[in-house]
Amino acid sequence: MNLLRRTVRIPMNTFCLHRTFAASALHLAPVQLPSRAESHLWYLVPDEVKSVSLLGQYSEILSPCENEYVACIRGEQLKKTALLARVLVRTTIARYQTDGYIDPRSLKFRKNIHGKPELEWDNDDSGSRPPVQFNISHTASLIACGVTNSSPIGVDIEKKDRKIQNNIISFARRYFTPNEVERLSSISDLNVQRQHFLKLWTLKEAYVKALGKGISALPFSTFTIKSRNFEKKELNGSGDSDPEITVESVDGQRSLLSNWQFTLLELAGTHFAAVCVARDGSMGDKCFTPKKLTVMKTIPFVGDESMSGTDAAIVCGF
């Protein structure tokens, strides 16, 4: 247990919490939309949400379709994660209101052609339509939602201690690029190799999700993720001028795709989290300014905790 962990708590009187937990009486504190130079990463730990009545109220926020989907899932833990993931998305987006209160229940979603969830607005919503882009990822023990102002974003998380069933090098030879196989093969410690594999997987997933595609539409063998250095440092908002993690397409040209920024974190001490965000079109290659990533832990309707600069959000080497 790290006693030096700094937390900034938002005063609880920001939230109205009624004894009956009636969904209509619960309020969500608004959050300011990030600037174009920032992204937000929200996360929720399912095990910390224990109140049965709160979970019941969460169900009331979901659409009938979503509730039906959750009902079809077998296993209480999986059901809970599915419920909380949808609650996190709805409540988080609703908080970025730019023109009056947004009821999280009123949000509509659709999936793009590759299955990526997107916001769907009615024609008459134009006034209160915040330019939010989001992407979600979850494991059984953590749910993360990344948010930007207008820029495509992809998020992927994996548990740090996840075991790989297949042989890692065989898997990499099958699905990754030769460059990545070489890098993995050069790691002699099997545990370090497994962790590098997971980091690489989350980075690649975050990239294809940011593009709005999936592994089927953009096979992982068509692009290489590389790193420039291996240092571990805390997330403090003042990044280097050169991007640490880059993506190159593997197609004869081996072109650097410089319009994507990656951040790799150790999140909540238990997970690797990769965030991929499109850089602003107006920035040229010469003046690359990394987008600041703010990490917040949250329990919808209960409270938030800023985790940037703490050991719950450590930028890790790759």
Please tell me whether residue 214 binds other proteins under the rule CB under 8 A: yes
Least CB distance from residue 159 to other proteins, whole Å?
10
Count of residues that interact with other proteins, criterion CB under 8 A: 27
C-beta closer to other proteins: residue 38 or 158: 158
Among 25, 29, 78, 192, binds other proteins (CB under 8 A): 78
Among 117, 212, 219, 303, binds other proteins (CB under 8 A): 219
Please tell me whether residue 257 binds other proteins under the rule CB under 8 A: no
- Whole-angstrom Cα Rg for the chain: 20
Tell me the per-residue interface mask from 111 to 140 with other proteins, x by CB under 8 A, - otherwise.
---xx-----------------------xx
Phi-psi region of 309 (alpha: psi -120 to 50; beta: other; left: phi over 0): left
Among 2, 123, 216, 282, binds other proteins (CB under 8 A): 216
Instruction: Report DSSP letters for 107-176, one per residue.
Output: -EEEE-TTS-EEEE--GGGGGG---EEEEEEE-SS-EEEEEEESS-EEEEEEETTPPPSS-HHHHHHHHS
Least CB distance from residue 68 to other proteins, whole Å?
12
Least CB distance from residue 112 to other proteins, whole Å?
13
Residues in the chain: 318
Residue type for position 107: L
C-beta closer to other proteins: residue 28 or 203: 203
C-beta closer to other proteins: residue 215 or 302: 215
Q: What is the C-alpha to C-alpha distance for residues 175 and 233, in angstroms, rounded to an integer? A: 30
Least CB distance from residue 177 to other proteins, whole Å?
13
Please tell me whether residue 74 binds other proteins under the rule CB under 8 A: yes
Please tell me whether residue 166 binds other proteins under the rule CB under 8 A: yes
Among 16, 29, 217, 257, binds other proteins (CB under 8 A): 217
Strands ordered across the beta sheet of 303-306 = 8-9, 303-306, 292-299, 38-44, 143-149, 132-138
Is 224 in contact with 253 (CB distance < 8 Å)?
no
Which residues lie across from 136 on neighbouring strands? 145
Please tell me whether residue 16 binds other proteins under the rule CB under 8 A: no
Contact positions with other proteins (CB under 8 A) in 26-55: none
Using CB under 8 A, list all residues that contact other proteins. 72-75, 78, 114-115, 139-140, 158, 162, 164-166, 170-171, 174-175, 201, 205, 214-217, 219-221
